[in-house]
């Protein structure tokens, strides 16, 4: 989560790292209201990460996104959004 040059940090990587390291409150420093419901924040972050997957087949359908937002279905931990790009470069 540390970087020498903050201007070079990729937002999706930072958010994923915060989620993975269980430091979601870092994302909500200036939002007292948001910090009062960290379970909800975590769910929304996971949904967002699912939606930005580089590999289209990994992204959920809009129907599934709505179900996840409504809490009708569980939200599993998404893969690292940059892992697909890393696999292509190898």
Global confidence as pTM: 0.79
More confident residue, 9 or 90: 9
| DSSP-based helix, strand, coil % in the chain, nearest 5 | 60, 0, 40
pLDDT single digits (tens) 43-67: 999 999 999 999 999 999 999 999 9
More confident residue, 59 or 7: 59
Q: Say if residue 42's pLDDT is above 80.
A: yes
Q: Say if residue 84's pLDDT is above 60.
A: no
Closest CA to 71 of 25, 49, 45, 40: 40
């Amino acid at each position: 989560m540390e970087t020498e040059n903050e201007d070079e940090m990729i937002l999706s990587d930072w958010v994923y790292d915060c989620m993975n390291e269980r430091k979601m409150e870092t994302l909500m420093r200036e939002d007292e209201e948001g910090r009062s419901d960290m379970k909800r924040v975590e769910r929304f972050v996971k949904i967002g990460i699912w939606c930005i997957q580089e590999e289209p087949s990994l992204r959920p359908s809009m129907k599934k996104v709505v179900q996840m937002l409504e809490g009708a279905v569980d939200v599993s931990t998404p893969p690292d959004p940059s892992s697909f790009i890393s696999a292509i470069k190898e």
